């Protein structure tokens, strides 16, 4: 029990649903809760048959379907730790995740596995095709629900930092279970709800689409959409009630014509990965008058921190809301004391949703995971977000700014360092700086500044980046400068560059 809530191993999630009710439906077929539980047992049994050590990391780089949906449950049931990989990543990012996690096994689509170079795969890491995993789900011996300690690790989710390569956030069974309970509770999900899963399952937000819906006994509909109209069609065809998105997707969906009979099927819209603008909130409220709108704020290091109740959206459209269940959110001064109303301070997340740190990275763990402020009722370790917020007299929180250099584009957290390292690999580029610039559709777009070379270098860098980085990391524009400003220590003055070029 945590805060009065029973906590179970995450692989027990499907046992909550009515065995005859729909649990998953999509292009790959329909599964009842009983059928999906059986498929989960078989997939876990297949994984267990490879002779891996308990606690081994098992990575998946697969299409959004039954295998992708069940791997977060199957790997922990087999005694392993799941490492989902964003399908948009390319071989160099995947190679880093495999090496950093020490993955013992990777399940991938045939095309993705074939895209890996020999040096991308760590020694001893087994490669298996998604088709083989799918076959295992339809036959073979299964294993029953685990008796895992809820405090044992169940997943490592990789997220970019403002410096360096992606880092793995360690999550326990309890972290994942309580996240499902919390979201199902405040969204008021019910067994008759149908959730469109359009976000990648490699994101905590995307993965929780599954977990919270299953906790409530509802049905999920995975969709890899090509155009926003595909989402509209799914809502219509499957009578979708719940749709989660990030701001760029809402911008695109708000540009479509939504017939009233289709829009009226949605009961709730949820947003995270960036703030909604006032005009966009107004447009969504006009298009979907019968749907509750839930603006939310979260950190992979603590899953979800706040949500704004739908009843407050019209009067407080800029607010992040208040703490979700199982989260304690404090706004503190540099000395750790609590700020006054409307006084800016750092958002600190305390409580059982806090992750266990970064995988094999004690230095960065110590920077972000520190003892909770003295005022915390939970104590223990807390996530010091680096985000500046303020709290009004009603207890509602408002985002003020991000202290680090992270670029947040289309719901993706982008490390400037990763882009810069790829750029300086091009002959003729002396130095590179990646900045986030405002963009109506993306929230932020990437602007890349280069020192060295002439305008001809721009094409060479653009070509190289397209081959090495995923689409969401591609610069909106590239600018060549003769010199970069320096601070007294001789380092690049990023603040000066951001002031001049980071519109």
Tell me the pLDDT tens digit for each residue of 30-40: 999 999 999 99
Over range 405-425, report the average pLDDT. Answer: 83
Q: How many helices (H) and strands (E) does the chain have?
A: 15, 25
Other CB atoms within a 10 A radius of the CB of residue 118 amount to: 5
Over range 92-107, report the average pLDDT. Answer: 95
Query: What residues does CATH 3.40.50.980 cover in the chain?
Result: 30-148
Other CB atoms within a 10 A radius of the CB of residue 30 amount to: 12
Structure confidence at residue 254 (pLDDT): 92
Distance in angstroms (rounded) separating the CA atoms of residues 111 and 116: 9
pLDDT greater than 70 at residue 481: yes
Distance in angstroms (rounded) separating the CA atoms of residues 421 and 79: 37
Structure confidence at residue 405 (pLDDT): 66
Pairwise pLDDT comparison (429 vs 293), residue with the higher score: 293
Please answer whether residues 4 and 33 qualify as being in contact, where contact means their C-beta atoms are separated by less than 8 angstroms.
Answer: no
pLDDT greater than 80 at residue 458: yes
- H/E stretch holding 293 reads strand 292-299
CATH number, domain 30-148, options 3.40.50.980, 2.170.190.11, 1.25.40.10, 3.30.70.360: 3.40.50.980
Structure confidence at residue 410 (pLDDT): 85
β partners of residue 192: none
pLDDT greater than 90 at residue 211: yes
Q: Tokens for 468?
A: 């090495």
Structure confidence at residue 277 (pLDDT): 81
Please answer whether residues 169 and 202 qualify as being in contact, where contact means their C-beta atoms are separated by less than 8 angstroms.
Answer: no
- In the DSSP assignment, the letter for residue 353 is T
Residue range 345-376, pLDDT digits in tens: 999 999 999 999 999 999 999 999 999 999 99
Please answer whether residues 245 and 280 qualify as being in contact, where contact means their C-beta atoms are separated by less than 8 angstroms.
Answer: no
Q: Tokens for 418?
A: 């990763």
Structure confidence at residue 5 (pLDDT): 85
pLDDT greater than 70 at residue 163: no
Of 156, 142, 180, the closest CA to residue 6 belongs to 180
pLDDT greater than 50 at residue 98: yes
* Per-residue three-class SS string for 294-334: EEEEEECCCEEEEECCHHHCCCCCCEEEEECCCCEEEEECC
Q: Tokens for 159?
A: 């997220």
- Is 344 strand, coil or helix? coil
- H/E stretch holding 497 reads helix 494-501
Instruction: Give Cα 374 to chain centroid, integer Å.
Output: 30
Among 50-64, 151-165, 212-226, 268-282, the range scoring the smallest mean pLDDT is: 151-165
CA–CA distances in Å: residue 444 to residues 90, 406, 497: 21, 10, 16
Structure confidence at residue 162 (pLDDT): 46
Among 5-14, 41-50, 132-141, 152-161, the range scoring the smallest mean pLDDT is: 152-161
Over range 279-285, report the average pLDDT. Answer: 91
Cβ-based burial of 467 (10 A; exposed 0-12, middle 13-18, buried ≥19):
exposed
Q: Tokens for 364?
A: 């960065």
Q: Tokens for 304?
A: 């979800």
Structure confidence at residue 262 (pLDDT): 98
Distance in angstroms (rounded) separating the CA atoms of residues 376 and 24: 40
CA–CA distances in Å: residue 98 to residues 43, 106, 124, 255: 21, 8, 11, 39
- Which string of DSSP letters, residue by residue, matches 165-230? S-EEEEEEHHHHHHHHHHHHHHTT--TT-EEEE-S-TTSHHHHHHHHHHHHHT-EEEE---SSHHH
What backbone phi and psi angles, to 5 degrees, belong to 146? -80, 165
Over range 382-390, report the average pLDDT. Answer: 94
- H/E stretch holding 72 reads helix 66-77
- In the DSSP assignment, the letter for residue 492 is B
Q: What does the chain come to in residues?
A: 503
CATH architecture of 407-501: 2-Layer Sandwich (3.30)
- Is 65 strand, coil or helix? coil
According to DSSP H, which parts of 187-313 are helical? 204-216, 228-238, 247-254, 260-263, 278-287
Cβ-based burial of 285 (10 A; exposed 0-12, middle 13-18, buried ≥19):
middle
Distance in angstroms (rounded) separating the CA atoms of residues 178 and 378: 15
Distance in angstroms (rounded) separating the CA atoms of residues 117 and 463: 20
Distance in angstroms (rounded) separating the CA atoms of residues 148 and 76: 8
Cα first-last separation, the chain: 49
Q: Quickly tell me which residue has 């359009």 as its tokens.
A: 198
Distance in angstroms (rounded) separating the CA atoms of residues 448 and 501: 10
Of 169, 230, 288, the closest CA to residue 26 belongs to 230
Among 335-339, 445-449, 453-457, the range scoring the smallest mean pLDDT is: 453-457
Distance in angstroms (rounded) separating the CA atoms of residues 91 and 411: 21
β partners of residue 149: none
Query: What residues does CATH 3.30.300.30 cover in the chain?
Result: 407-501
Distance in angstroms (rounded) separating the CA atoms of residues 60 and 58: 7
| pLDDT, the chain, mean | 93
């Amino acid at each position: 029990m945590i805060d009065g809530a029973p906590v179970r191993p995450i692989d027990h999630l499907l046992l909550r649903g009515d065995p005859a009710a729909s649990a998953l439906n999509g292009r790959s077929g329909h599964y009842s809760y009983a059928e999906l539980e059986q498929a989960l047992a078989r997939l876990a049994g297949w994984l267990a048959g490879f002779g891996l050590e308990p606690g081994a990391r098992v990575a998946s780089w697969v299409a959004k379907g039954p295998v992708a949906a069940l791997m977060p449950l199957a790997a922990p049931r087999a005694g392993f730790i799941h490492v989902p990989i964003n399908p948009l990543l390319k071989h160099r990012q995947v190679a880093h995740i495999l090496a950093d996690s020490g993955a013992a096994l990777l399940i991938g689509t045939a095309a993705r596995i074939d895209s890996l170079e020999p040096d991308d795969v760590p020694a001893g890491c087994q490669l298996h095709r998604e088709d083989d995993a799918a076959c295992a789900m339809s036959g073979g011996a299964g294993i029953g629900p685990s008796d895992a300690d809820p405090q044992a690790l169940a997943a490592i989710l990789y997220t970019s930092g403002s410096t360096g390569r992606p880092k793995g956030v360690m999550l326990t069974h309890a972290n994942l279970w309580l996240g499902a309970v919390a979201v199902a509770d405040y969204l008021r999900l019910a067994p008759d709800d149908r959730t469109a899963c359009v976000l990648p399952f490699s994101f905590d937000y995307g993965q929780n689409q599954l977990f919270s819906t299953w906790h409530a006994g509802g049905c999920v509909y995975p969709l890899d959409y090509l155009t926003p109209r595909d989402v509209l069609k799914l809502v219509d065809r499957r009578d979708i009630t719940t749709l989660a998105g990030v701001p760029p997707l809402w911008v695109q969906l708000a540009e479509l014509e939504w017939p009233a009979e289709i829009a009226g099927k949605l009961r709730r819209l949820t947003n995270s990965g960036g703030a909604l603008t006032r005009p966009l909130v107004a447009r969504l409220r006009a298009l979907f008058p019968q749907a509750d709108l839930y603006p939310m704020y979260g950190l992979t290091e603590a899953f979800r921190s706040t949500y704004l109740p739908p009843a407050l959206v019209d009067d407080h459209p800029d607010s992040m809301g208040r703490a979700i269940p199982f989260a304690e959110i404090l706004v503190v001064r540099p000395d750790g004391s609590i700020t006054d109303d409307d006084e800016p301070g750092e958002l600190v997340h305390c409580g059982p949703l806090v992750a266990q740190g970064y995988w094999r990275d004690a230095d960065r763990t110590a920077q972000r995971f520190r003892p909770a402020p003295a005022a915390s009722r939970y104590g223990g370790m807390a996530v010091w977000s680096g985000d500046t917020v303020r709290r009004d007299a009603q207890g509602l929180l408002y985002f003020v700014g991000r202290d680090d250099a992270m670029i947040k584009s289309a719901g993706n957290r982008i490390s400037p360092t990763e882009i810069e390292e790829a750029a300086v690999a091009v002959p003729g580029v002396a130095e590179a700086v990646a900045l986030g610039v405002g963009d109506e559709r993306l929230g932020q777009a990437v602007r890349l500044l280069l020192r060295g070379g002439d305008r001809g270098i721009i094409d060479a860098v653009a070509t190289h980046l397209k081959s090495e980085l995923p689409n969401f990391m591609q610069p909106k524009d590239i600018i060549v400068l003769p010199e970069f400003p320096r601070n007294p220590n001789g380092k690049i003055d990023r603040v000066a560059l951001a002031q001049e070029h980071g519109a």
